[in-house]
Amino acid sequence: MDFEREIEVCLRSRFTLICIETFEEERVVDHLKSVCTQRNRTLYRWDHADHFQLLTGPAGTRPTATDAASVLEAIEAMEGEVVFVLHDFHQCWDKSPKIVRKLRNLAQRLQYTRKTMIVTAPAMEIPDELKDEVVRLEYAPPGEEQLGAIIDKLASSPGVKVNLTDEGRDRILRAALGLSSSQARRIFAKAIVVNGVLDDRDLEMITMEKKEIIRESGALQFYAPSETIADVGGLQQLKTWLGMRERAFTQEAADYGLPAPKGVALIGIPGTGKSLTAKMIASLWHLPLIRLDIGALYGSYIGQSEENARRALVLAETIAPCLMWIDEIEKGLSTGTADGGTSMRVFGTILSWMQEKTKPVFIVATANDISKLPPELLRKGRFDEIFFLDLPTTIERREIFHVHIRKRKRKPEDYDLDRLSAAADGYVGAEIEQAVIEAMYIAFNDEANAGRDFTTEDILAALAKQVPMSRSQREVVGALRQWLAEGRAQSASFREVQEAQQEFVQIQPDSE
């Protein structure tokens, strides 16, 4: 149901108090004008600065109320079918229990009239006394059609040049999804001013501006990933699984009857490339990547954390199709009671959304400590698959060395990758990368030949200095690998569970 239709149903149902959380007052008012004009209702707006203003309906004596109490008295006294949109009126009830009581009384009395009060604000906390009287409506940011209308309106302005191809226009509109009308208008206008024209070249600027705006929203961070599948060594089974779903968000897949994939959980040993994989998926599937910072959801007021979570998830759906990355999810989704149950309610909000979401938001959740993961998070329906990222195999270590040597603009064939792979047994990808970097420092600072190219021997020397996590945290790694051996997840590598069990046994501490 679109917003105007929803408002019309509310008015016909004689809802007396409606609250809409949005920054987009102008768009809301435009919708209300349209509905009230069609249904021959009078529409007034009120705010703290300009007080009552008539927006639609017959001209008459305008109420002169300047404070909250007189506003409510004026609303009760007015006759006819009237809608009152009250901007930031929540500031009045925040300061006065008397206003809360008066508003509740009025909302109950208006049930026998054709008058409706609509409160708008960027954010508001509904008092417990009003929750039974209030109907809360969602107001989504503009879609591609509305954003296109903004571009068209700018193009009609004197001296403004817009030179977009059909493909460029589609990409720019998709890049702007999730922004408010005002934000999108400012970004489009800035692109025109900087380049003298809005064209396909402005996509990168719009993406960067959007990144900053989404970051300011709090819990979401926008990424423009550059990692490719070639930047991730090993994990062949995971890569195959992802490759089969590369076209999952296309219209072709929808026409075939395929549902959009829900998400994947990446669990395993720290340093095995879980975060890198999240960025790689976004690049592989050509989807925008947003990172959910669960810690940033928590606020100091009652109900604020849950509201922050809800708004972040709504914004993610607006940007869809997209990929949402939740890094180290076990640290954010605590289920303890020390915080008065706030974390449990936030956890419940996110879990319910993951289960019920209909928009194509693909979740990539990473975790290191499975002992802190609540069991309901990993049950079927939340994710399409759970992958375990284990210590890399010999072949995978070879690929990882190849990736990091090539990344440093050297030719991998100039190095003995087989020897390096054997020497790095028990090392994770992050440790292998650090060994390559350390080798570069060794060569760069060589007293006999400073600045020479680093060699296989330098990398072997760097490996010898490290104590890999598989030894320094043997018990932790062992517990993680036992979790895989018990069949609770699929290995991200082409390695059978039996082999994983054998390797698990090999790394256990010696029995006394």
Domain ranges of the chain: 3-137, 144-216, 229-389, 394-471
Strand partners, 169: none
pTM attached to this predicted model? 0.69
Please give the pLDDT value at position 339. Answer: 60
Asked if the domains at 229-389 and 394-471 fall in one CATH topology, the answer is no
Better pLDDT: 124 or 85? 85
Instruction: Tell me the two tokens of residue 326.
Output: 């939740």
Question: pLDDT band at 178, cuts 50/70/90?
Answer: confident
Question: pLDDT band at 119, cuts 50/70/90?
Answer: very high
Helices 203-216 and 181-195 cross at an angle (nearest 10°) of 140
Architecture of domain 144-216: Orthogonal Bundle (1.10)
Please give the pLDDT value at position 349. Answer: 85
Q: How far is CA 281 from the centre of its chain?
A: 15
> Is residue 113 a contact partner of residue 76, using CB atoms and an 8 Å limit?
no
Residues in the chain: 512
Residue 105 scores a pLDDT above 90: yes
What percentage of the chain has pLDDT greater than the value 70? 93
Q: List Cβ neighbours of 352 (8 Å cut-off, separation of 6 or more).
A: none
CA torsion through residues 91, 92, 97, 102, sign: negative
> Is residue 106 a contact partner of residue 75, using CB atoms and an 8 Å limit?
yes
Residue-by-residue DSSP string for 445-488: T-SSSTTPPP-HHHHHHHHHH---HHHHTHHHHHHHHHHHHTTS
φ, ψ for residue 292, nearest 5 deg: -90, 115
3-state secondary structure of 257: coil
> Is residue 129 a contact partner of residue 13, using CB atoms and an 8 Å limit?
no
Better pLDDT: 318 or 133? 133
Please give the pLDDT value at position 335. Answer: 53
> Is residue 273 a contact partner of residue 387, using CB atoms and an 8 Å limit?
no
Fold annotation for 229-389 = Rossmann fold (3.40.50)
Residue 16 scores a pLDDT above 90: yes
Class in CATH terms, 3-137: alpha beta
Cis before 321? omega within 30: yes
Please give the pLDDT value at position 498. Answer: 41
Class in CATH terms, 394-471: mainly alpha
Question: pLDDT band at 494, cuts 50/70/90?
Answer: low
Place of tokens 């922050």: 308
Instruction: State the chain's mean pLDDT as an integer.
Output: 85
Per-residue pLDDT tens digits for 292-336: 988 888 766 666 788 788 888 888 887 778 899 998 888 766 555
Please give the pLDDT value at position 505. Answer: 44
Question: Shortest CA distance to 429 belongs to which of 484, 386, 390?
Answer: 390
Please give the pLDDT value at position 496. Answer: 43
Q: Which DSSP helix (H) or strand (E) runs through 283?
A: helix 274-285
